[in-house]
Amino acid sequence: MARFPIKMPQLGESIAEATIREILVAPGDEVKADQNIFEVETDKAMMEVTTPCGGVIAEITAQIGTSYPVGSPIAVIEASEEEALKAGLIRPAESPETGSAPSPDENLHFAVAEKDVIDHSVPAAVKPTVEGGLPVPVRSSVYLSPRLRHRMEELGLNSADLAGLPGSGAGGRVTVEDFEKFIQALDQSRMTDASPMRIAVADSMRRSWTRPLASVTVPIIMDAVLAHRKQVEAKPGVSLYAMRALALAISENTAVAGRLIGTKIVHPNAIDIGFAVEAEDGVLVPVLRNVDEKSLAELQGPYDDLVRLARERRLPKNAMGGGVATITNVGPFGITAASPIPLPEQNLVLGLMAGRKTPVWDDTKGTFVPRMESKFILSFDHRILDGGAAGRLLQRIGQLLQEPGKL
């Protein structure tokens, strides 16, 4: 039987590494093809690594709690020539003993070269490039001198980490000396490691803020939605009603959910809507596909399943990314006003605020009547939409919610 490395696979389009959380097999165990052997954590969810073929686990090189880049060897499997051929690990004309199989890294966006293979003796999550380095994404600001930018990159810092740091240089710019004093002062402070999810959320929101963002607010009467919810057997959440209304409103003018690339507005090919779910130490955004083509009843089951899977951090790959807008419901927290930030790849995020009983003038009765009102806040890329267009989109959502039976 020949030995083949099992490498960290690419678990998502934008995922470059994963952290080993649980090892499900031991050396000497017989395994089948596609059997789960590792449970790993990415910045998006908990996922599994499977075997490429049937055989025997010869060696496990990965360590629990250690992060491994895509393409890093994490185990070794012994497999027969027949199993290796079926899995594509070797070609029919090749001997498994030669190890001349096609590289499994060929289709990996973030595959690593042999010289970059991780040192298993030191967890990657805390292994700095230089002594004192911090494990955070590297981004630079154009307002930083090349010398300072280089020093920040050495330590794995970005310009957002220097927010609030007063500079002593010309025009208030931060100098290298200011930066070094700042780093020394950090050593005197209590620090804890940020989770991979918290780092991912922070990086995503900072990238979002590079665009000119704006928000508009419209009060929406929710009595019709609440009455409809009482009448149906399945009790859709308010977020699902809003998601369906948003999808229908976008379908009437897809440009509002487009992206500006150069001088072109790129319209979405499908109206896939994400929704924020609070998870441990962060927020996940599962996505429902083709929301404009499915009724509220058809969306209910998949929506409930994705909420559960998101809270367990076990979202399937096909439920992550690719949405054109996001719904975030902060009403359960009693929040009545907020400024949600759209994801970097999206133009729109619709925030649902807490409902409140409000006196509303009724022309037919000639008096004020109590109504359940919620503020809907739409944040958007101001390069795509202006306040008027954003306001009309919100008004249309409100109109659709007055006839929830048609959603």
186 and 251 inside one domain: no
In tens digits, the chain (407 residues) has pLDDT values of 889 999 998 877 567 788 899 999 999 999 998 899 999 988 767 888 999 999 999 999 999 988 888 888 999 999 998 888 888 888 775 555 444 444 444 444 344 444 444 444 444 443 333 333 333 333 333 356 777 888 888 777 777 677 667 777 765 677 888 888 888 877 777 777 777 777 777 777 778 777 889 999 999 999 999 999 988 888 889 999 999 999 999 999 999 998 887 788 889 899 999 999 988 767 889 999 999 999 999 999 999 999 999 888 888 888 888 899 999 999 988 998 898 999 888 899 999 999 999 898 888 888 999 999 999 999 999 988 999 999 999 999 999 999 999 98
Nearest to 337 by CA among 347, 351, 323: 351
Q: Whole domain around residue 43: which residue ranges? A: 2-122
225 and 251 inside one domain: yes
Does residue 22 contact residue 37 with C-beta atoms inside 8 Å? Answer: no
Residue 132, domain member (yes or no): no
281 and 233 inside one domain: yes
Residue 129, domain member (yes or no): no
243 and 392 inside one domain: yes
Distance separating alpha carbons of residues 133 and 168, to the nearest angstrom: 24
Q: Residue 338: which CATH number?
A: 3.30.559.10
Residue 133, domain member (yes or no): no
254 and 384 inside one domain: yes
State pTM to two decimals: 0.61
CB atoms within 10 A of CB 178: 17
Q: Residue 65: which CATH number?
A: 2.40.50.100
98 and 169 inside one domain: no
Task: Calculate helix-pair angle for 238-251, 387-401, nearest 10 degrees.
Answer: 120
Domains of the chain: total: 3
- Residue 329 tokens read as 């419901």
Backbone angles phi, psi at 121, to 5 degrees: -80, -15
167 and 112 inside one domain: no
Spell out the residues 6+ positions from residue 215 whose beta carbon is closer than 8 angstroms to its own. Answer: 339, 340, 377, 378, 379, 380
Angle at 259 between CA 257 and CA 265, to 5 degrees: 100
Residue 203, domain member (yes or no): no
179 and 301 inside one domain: no
Residue 130, domain member (yes or no): no
* 189 CB-contact burial (10 Å; exposed 0-12 / middle 13-18 / buried 19+): exposed
Task: Calculate helix-pair angle for 146-155, 176-186, nearest 10 degrees.
Answer: 20
E strand residue ranges, 86-176: none
Q: Which sign, positive or negative, has the C-alpha torsion 34, 39, 41, 47?
A: positive
Residue 64, domain member (yes or no): yes
